[in-house]
Amino acid sequence: MSFTVAIDGPAAAGKGTISRAVAAHFGFAHLDTGLLYRAVGARVLAGEAPLEAAHALVAEDLDADGLRTPEVAQAASRVAALPDVRSALVDFQRAFAARAGGAVLDGRDIGTVICPDAPAKLFVTASAECRATRRYDELRGNGHDVTRDEVLADVIARDKRDSERATAPLIAAEDAVTIDTSDMSIEEAVAAAVAAILSKDGRPEN
């Protein structure tokens, strides 16, 4: 069985947590496509050209240490705005989505560009303030010396860059189910996602 779940949304909205939980619930494979861009961004920070880094990317790069740092996140957002880089990574993502056994992909253009025919599409969002608080707590918990105002400014800047880029901007697919996690617990958000997927034609067995 091949069943693709496309989950999009801005940074720190909870789409990664929801995607992993949904994949586990249905026994699907999961791909955090943001890691592709983070891995490319890390290579760029190390001195490679963006397109060269995208073509040289291998699966093992997604397990590299340091991909969750603010510096790599910023580099990832910058390279993700480059059409040639996005094009270079499309085949990798589509091949993953078509795998037997079902797949969950989360990112920013999965339902609109990578898998526009996915039977289940979700757009996970939350207020900028809520997302900044989550990211601030995560960064501080990992020892990063940042202020909440700095994190909020970074979230807003990244939202602007992701939503205004010319190629594959961050927008909800017309047929996506929107889940606003601002006032939801993780359990509530996951339950909403599972319910939305089960409502689709050709849905996976629960």
What SS3 class is residue 32?
A: strand
pTM for the predicted model, two decimal places: 0.87
pLDDT in tens, 146-205: 999 999 999 999 899 889 988 889 999 999 999 999 999 999 999 999 999 999 866 666
Q: Is 16 annotated as a binding residue?
A: yes
* Three-state DSSP string of 102-146: CEEEEECCHHHHHCCCCCEEEEEECCHHHHHHHHHHHHHHCCCCC
pLDDT in tens, 41-64: 999 999 999 999 999 998 889 989
Quote the CA–CA distance of 172 and 39 in Å, as a whole number. Answer: 25
Q: Is 103 annotated as a binding residue?
A: no
Q: Is 4 annotated as a binding residue?
A: no
Q: Is 15 annotated as a binding residue?
A: yes
pLDDT in tens, 107-126: 999 999 999 999 999 999 99
Quote the CA–CA distance of 6 and 137 in Å, as a whole number. Answer: 27
Residue 90's contacts (CB-CB under 8 Å, 6 or more residues apart) are 113, 114
Q: Is 10 annotated as a binding residue?
A: yes
Q: According to the model, what pLDDT value does residue 91 have?
A: 87
CATH superfamily, with its number, for domain 4-198: P-loop containing nucleotide triphosphate hydrolases (3.40.50.300)
For residue 182, the tally of other CB atoms under 10 A from its CB is 13
